């Protein structure tokens, strides 16, 4: 398009010039509308309290899990991706905790903006056994307004959101939070 406009200038072909000008202006106005619309919908910060946004997630093995069916259990939702380096640092801790609290806490790994191949390799590499599924269309990530990966959300037994950790989990932090939520009646 841009090259055409140069030729249009060279050849003094007014019609082509109007077409090029029209398309350019339309694209520019389109971009401005997009940005203006985006500004209207500017992201609020992550939700930290209130009811956790519900979702259902289909795992890499084809099983489906819905958050509202997990009432009565503590839920840890971890957003991650195979390309994310800090996610690697916390992977072992998440797996260890998911095994330790298998009966009382449900761990959900939400794979964000990733390739299936990369994700499966990551899961295999760290021997992750808890529920893992791709966030198709990044819908869940959008509902939780994540800013990047890793991010970890804690959901209490009654379905309320009880905090978010942006960035990799620190040692002991996860267990501390789990114990706090398990005590919760």
Partner 1 sequence: MIAEIGFVALSAAFVLAVYATASSAWGGYHERPAWVQSARSAVLLIAGLLTVAVGTLVYSLQQSDFSIAYIAENTDLAMPSYLRLTALWGGQAGSLLFWAWLMSCFVAAVMLGKWEQDRDLMPYFITVATLTTGFFIGVTVFISNPFARLWLPPGTDQLTVAFFPPAGAMLYSVPDGNGLNPLLRHFGMIFHPPTTYLGFTGFVVPYAFAMSALISGRARDDQWIRTSRRWTLVAWGFLSVGLLLGGRWAYDVLGWGGFWGWDPVENAMLLPWLTGTAFLHSVMITERRGMLKLWSVLLIVLTYSLALFGTFITRSGVISSVHAFGKTALGPAFFIFIGITFLGTMALMIKRLDLMKSDHEMESFLSREAAFLLQNVVFLAITFVVFLGTVFPLISEMVTGDKVTVGPPYFKATAGPLFGVLLLLMGVAPMIAWRKQVAARLGNRLMAPVLVSAVVAVFWGYTYESPWVAYPVLWLVVFATLAVLMEFWKGISARMSQGENPVAAFTTLVSLNRRRYGGYFVHLAVIMIGLGFIGEAFFMKQTQGTLAQGESLQIAGYAVRFDTLRQYIGADGRQVTEADTSVLRDGELLATLQPRQDFFSEHGQRVTAPDAYATLGGDVYVILIGWEDIGMGGSTFKVYYNPMITWTWLGSFVLLAGTLVAMWPQRAGRSHRSYVLNPVTPGPKLDAGGAA
**E-state strands within the chain:** 56-58, 64-66, 74-80, 105-111, 131-134, 151-155, 161-166
Query: Nearest approach, Cβ of 107 to partner 1 (angstroms)?
Result: 18
Q: Does 34 bind partner 1 (CB under 8 A)?
A: yes
CA torsion 170-141-94-51 (nearest 10°) is 90
Q: Does 43 bind partner 1 (CB under 8 A)?
A: yes
Q: Does 6 bind partner 1 (CB under 8 A)?
A: yes
Site string for partner 1, 67-86 (x = CB under 8 A): --------------x-xxxx
Q: How far apart are CA 70 and CA 49, in angstroms?
A: 18
Would you call 53 helix, strand, or coil by DSSP?
A: coil
Longest dimension (CA), the chain: 79
Is the CB of residue 141 less than 8 Å from the CB of residue 151?
no
Q: Does 1 bind partner 1 (CB under 8 A)?
A: no
Among positions 85-144, residues that touch partner 1 (CB under 8 A) are 85-86, 88-90, 92-93, 112-115, 118, 137-139, 141-142
Residues that bind partner 1 (CB under 8 A): 2-3, 5-6, 8-10, 12, 17, 21, 24-25, 28-29, 31-32, 34-39, 41-45, 81, 83-86, 88-90, 92-93, 112-115, 118, 137-139, 141-142, 145-148, 167-168, 170-171, 173
């Amino acid at each position: 398009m841009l090259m055409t406009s140069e030729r249009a200038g060279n050849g003094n072909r007014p019609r082509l010039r109007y077409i090029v000008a029209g398309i350019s202006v339309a694209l520019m106005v389109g971009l401005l509308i997009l940005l203006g619309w985006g500004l209207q919908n500017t992201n609020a910060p992550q939700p930290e309290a209130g009811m956790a946004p519900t979702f259902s997630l289909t795992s890499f093995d084809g099983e489906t899990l819905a958050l509202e069916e997990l009432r009565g259990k503590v839920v840890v939702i971890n957003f991650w991706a195979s390309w994310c380096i800090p996610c690697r640092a916390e992977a072992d801790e998440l797996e260890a905790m998911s095994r330790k609290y298998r009966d009382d806490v449900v761990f959900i790994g939400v794979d964000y903006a990733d390739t299936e191949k990369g994700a499966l390799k990551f899961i295999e590499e760290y021997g992750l056994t808890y529920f893992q599924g791709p966030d198709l269309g990044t819908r869940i990530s959008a509902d939780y307004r994540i800013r990047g990966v890793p991010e970890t959300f804690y959901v209490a037994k009654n379905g309320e959101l009880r905090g978010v950790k942006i960035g990799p989990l620190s040692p002991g932090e996860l267990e501390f939070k789990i114990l706090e939520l398990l005590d919760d009646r």
